[in-house]
Chains A and B, each alone.
Chain A
Amino acid sequence: MGIKFSLLSVIALMAAVFVGVKVAGLHYFFGVVVPYAALATFLVGFIYRVLLWARSPVPFNITTTSGQQQSLPWVKQNKLDNPSTTAGTIGRMALEVLFFRSLFRNTKYEYHEGPKLRYQWEKWLWIFGLLFHYSFLVIFLRHLRFFAEPVPGFVHSLEGLDGMLQVGLPGLYITNLIFIAAVTFLFLRRVVVPQVRYISLPSDYFPLFLLFFLGVTGIIMRYFSKVDVVKVKELALGIVTFNPVVPSGIGVLFYMHFFLLCVLLAYFPFSKLMHLGGVFLSPTRNMPNDPRMRRHVNPWNYPVKVHTYEEYEDDFREKMIEAGLPVEKESK
């Protein structure tokens, strides 16, 4: 569902840039107006969404416990999968956010013919998920060289590390390859695995295409159809210093690349991509499993009508007395 629609949307977006820049000459629009609008949408949208989440309280401690609880002193607790302290919870969240702990759990043991227990790898999703997110992060950080002057030291070392293969000129970045491979994997998985295909929405394909073409335009610019990096940096610095300039002579490819990024930013707060923020607020993961130790307070806790003992005894008093059960009042 929606593969074609998503693909065509992304292509249409790129075509719009092509027409806009090449034919209509809307350099200022695509180079300054759109980026500011996108950035504003992203920031406002992201913060709004997070505030919306945060405004709803967490009425109950509904931790999902994935290991032995803190119990009697001689029972060994699994402090990371079932933390009872803040430190443990931070550890659990760190594993979750940095290493996708829960997804890693997606392992299977299996018995093949014979009694031998074998371990089956069900970790492709985990691996490619990790590769995708980390390569994206590195690529993002590398791009800081366009937005900062002087370029921070860590960006240089990152570039050095990323380009350590020293293949080609300009040097090939490993993360570029990984990024494209990972996005391709995530897409193929959606198409090939029938269950995943069945549950996929256009909003699952759209960001993948967006990211794919974002990567592809970037790669083309770097390795094949070179753009004037100095001018690009001039434009980028202009934006971050609120002193926008649009140097002439930057190829349309750059504008496509830049526009896709803007679309990604603007789309972000309205989409599932918000899992970036949501993972930190997930109540099954971000609380210690301690509700029997420390009372969790529900801000909207209101009284409900209960059937009191007195009402109960009124209903059954005679029978209770007859059965020798103690009662509060001997008779009505």
Chain B
Amino acid sequence: MAKVPKPNELVFDYNPPQKWWMDTKPEFRPGTWCYPGKAKNAEVLGLPNPREWSPLDEDWKLPSNWKEIIFEGMRDCLNKYRSLRVFMDICVRCGACSDKCHFYIGSGDPKNMPVLRGELLRSVYRKDFTLAGKIMGRIAGARELNEEVVKEWFYYFFQCTECRRCSVFCPYGIDTAEITIMGRELLNLLGVNIDWVLGPAANCYLNGNHLGIQPHAFKDMIEFFVEEIEAVNGIRIEPTFNRKGAEVLFITPSGDVFADPGTYTLMGYLMLFHEIGLDYTWSTYASEGGNFGLFTNHDTMKKLNAKMYAEAERLGVKYIIGGECGHMWRVIQQYMDTMNGPADFLEVPRSPITGTVFDNAKSTKMIHIVEFTADLIRNGKLKLDPSRNDHLRVTYHDSCNPARAMGFFDEPRYVIKNVCNNFWDMPPNCIREQTFCCGSGSGLNTDEFMEMRMRGGLPRANAVKHVHDKHGVNMLSCICAIDRAVLPPLMDYWVPDVDVTGVHELVGNAIVMEGETERTTDLRGNPLEGMEDMSDEDL
């Protein structure tokens, strides 16, 4: 028996010899990187070095003076952002962040530890901007900038979803999202970027939204949902577009207009606004809440975001309400007013129904639809029948950006608990400020990245599986359009019996509208509890 070769010897290369991280290179395997940005999209956005290229090529067609560009860019960023300066200098590599990253947890790739992601940039910074690094080199943790480093940056800065979970645990508040943002800023100077970010950004710039849907089609789509709502409860809603003089401009990510299940959330918005008689308008020019500029560079983010205030001013509205979206709200909360404000032409948001003044948005003058709805419910202005969501057993995924850039925790839970009878939270270290990312944020929600997305989404899916097994949860709610696009495949792979919804879809189901016919199905056409027979007859 001893002569038989050991089975494991046939299959495995055992632990590869341990090399220090500076000596390993990423392997561009399918599923772990995103397709590069197309030249035409880079041109629309005025980004440098537009060209056709592939990460699999040896030659990435970088500009001939690319090193200079990076150094100049780095100097520029260091002078513009204190965050970068401080974060480059003070990390003590304590490792508190190391196991907080969903990509590290799911993939085990050590360079997905936030601390090492930071070191990728830090090592170059040390070499060129610190005395110790210049003299001591490697001993001081410094390394030469070369093309391999650029390739590594591309690989790992597009394997970070900028979710900021690590930042919560860092004793110095070092935010890896900020480092990734700077890394992408630098990469964009060389024309190194991904098309899933550039394409939507270019479309948004020219046509108003990520998919490049033209104005008439945008209107058409919303009217299509008007018909669908009418089929559910007989109420005919008449939304308006680009209407001057409306009180409120409503902006939501375009994903809600074109992709299920976001579309049902959009129906929820329409129903809610109709029922309370809100004087609001949609805009086809500012028809995108999302901002893939945040995932490109500062200038692109500002360009795209400028439309919100510009359109609000043109239409003469009093304030803006924003739909359920994650990174959109990071931009609104932390960047918009600073970049494109002050919005003196707007008024402090005041709910026309309850009279509540939203002092927490008194400068930016844009409020989150969930705070708006929570206030309506709190003041008893909505007639709700939560039993219409009884066929759903709901949990809630705190979307990263509203969680860690706003602290938006209790408002959505308040709304959900008022429109649903069955709600369970996931375990404590997976929700609220410690929430796990969907694994596809920051422009990585493209299909060629599916393997990595499944890895990154594993910690989230795993927590959902727990409440699914324990409480029979079958619906995962969230307030992010990227979540609504990417959690369905994530669930399909890891927890197949769980579906995904926006919070306002649940509101749409529960809201009792004046003059509506008896509902037999929810917004998706699924029979309500106790109505299973009725809907069969319908068919």
What residues of A have a CB within 8 angstroms of the CB of B314 in the complex?
Answer: 309
What residues of A have a CB within 8 angstroms of the CB of B366 in the complex?
Answer: 292
Please tell me if the beta carbons of A70 and B360 are within 8 angstroms of each other in the complex: yes
Please tell me if the beta carbons of B173 and A292 are within 8 angstroms of each other in the complex: no
What residues of B have a CB within 8 angstroms of the CB of A56 in the complex?
Answer: 78-82, 84-85
A103 interface neighbour in B164, B171, B307, B404, Cβ under 8 Å: B171
Please tell me if the beta carbons of A282 and B81 are within 8 angstroms of each other in the complex: no
Please tell me if the beta carbons of A292 and B338 are within 8 angstroms of each other in the complex: no
What residues of A have a CB within 8 angstroms of the CB of B140 in the complex?
Answer: 201-203
**Using an 8 Å CB-CB cutoff, how does the interface string of A293-332 with B read, 1 for contact, 0 for none?**
1111110110011111100110110011011111000000
Please tell me if the beta carbons of B215 and A323 are within 8 angstroms of each other in the complex: yes
What residues of B have a CB within 8 angstroms of the CB of A296 in the complex?
Answer: 337-338
What residues of A have a CB within 8 angstroms of the CB of B116 in the complex?
Answer: 198-199
**Using an 8 Å CB-CB cutoff, how does the interface string of B353-378 with A read, 1 for contact, 0 for none?**
00010111111101000010011001
CA distance A307 to B78 in the complex (A): 29
- Chain B: which residue is nearest A92 at the CB level? B173
Q: Is A196 an interface residue (CB 8 A)?
A: yes
Number of B residues near A (Cβ < 8 Å) is 108
A123 smallest CB distance to B (angstroms): 11
Q: Is A225 an interface residue (CB 8 A)?
A: no
Q: 8 Å CB contacts to A: which residues of B186-222?
A: 205-208, 214-216, 219-220
Q: Is B299 an interface residue (CB 8 A)?
A: yes
Q: Is B496 an interface residue (CB 8 A)?
A: no
- Chain A: which residue is nearest B311 at the CB level? A309
Please tell me if the beta carbons of B303 and A53 are within 8 angstroms of each other in the complex: no
Please tell me if the beta carbons of B219 and A199 are within 8 angstroms of each other in the complex: no
CA distance A279 to B89 in the complex (A): 11
- Chain B: which residue is nearest A303 at the CB level? B302
Q: 8 Å CB contacts to B: which residues of A57-79?
A: 57-72, 74-76, 78
What residues of B have a CB within 8 angstroms of the CB of A63 in the complex?
Answer: 334, 405
Given contacts A71-B360, A72-B378, contact A204 B85 (CB under 8 A): no
**Using an 8 Å CB-CB cutoff, how does the interface string of B525-536 with A read, 1 for contact, 0 for none?**
000000000000
A42 smallest CB distance to B (angstroms): 15
Please tell me if the beta carbons of B98 and A306 are within 8 angstroms of each other in the complex: no
Given contacts A2-B139, A102-B171, A300-B80, contact A201 B164 (CB under 8 A): no
Q: Is A135 an interface residue (CB 8 A)?
A: no
**Using an 8 Å CB-CB cutoff, how does the interface string of B376-420 with A read, 1 for contact, 0 for none?**
001000000000000000000000000111111111001000000
Please tell me if the beta carbons of A274 and B80 are within 8 angstroms of each other in the complex: no
- Chain A: which residue is nearest B164 at the CB level? A64
Please tell me if the beta carbons of B363 and A292 are within 8 angstroms of each other in the complex: yes
Segment at the interface with B among A174-182, A227-235, A283-291: A283-291
CA distance A292 to B139 in the complex (A): 45
Q: Is B83 an interface residue (CB 8 A)?
A: yes
B positions within 8 Å CB-CB of A: 20-21, 46, 78-87, 89-96, 98-99, 110, 113, 115-116, 119, 130-132, 139-141, 164, 167-175, 178, 205-208, 214-216, 219-220, 241-244, 284-285, 299, 302-303, 306-307, 310-311, 314, 332-335, 337-339, 341-342, 356, 358-364, 366, 371, 374-375, 378, 403-411, 414, 427-429, 432-434, 466, 470
A positions within 8 Å CB-CB of B: 1-2, 5, 49, 52-72, 74-76, 78, 81-82, 84, 96, 100, 102-103, 105-109, 111, 115, 117, 125, 129, 193, 195-196, 198-204, 270-272, 274-275, 278-279, 281-285, 289, 291-298, 300-301, 304-309, 312-313, 315-316, 319-320, 322-326
Q: Which 9 A-B pairs have the closest CB atoms?
A: A69-B407, A278-B90, A323-B216, A65-B407, A284-B173, A285-B173, A282-B173, A82-B407, A201-B141
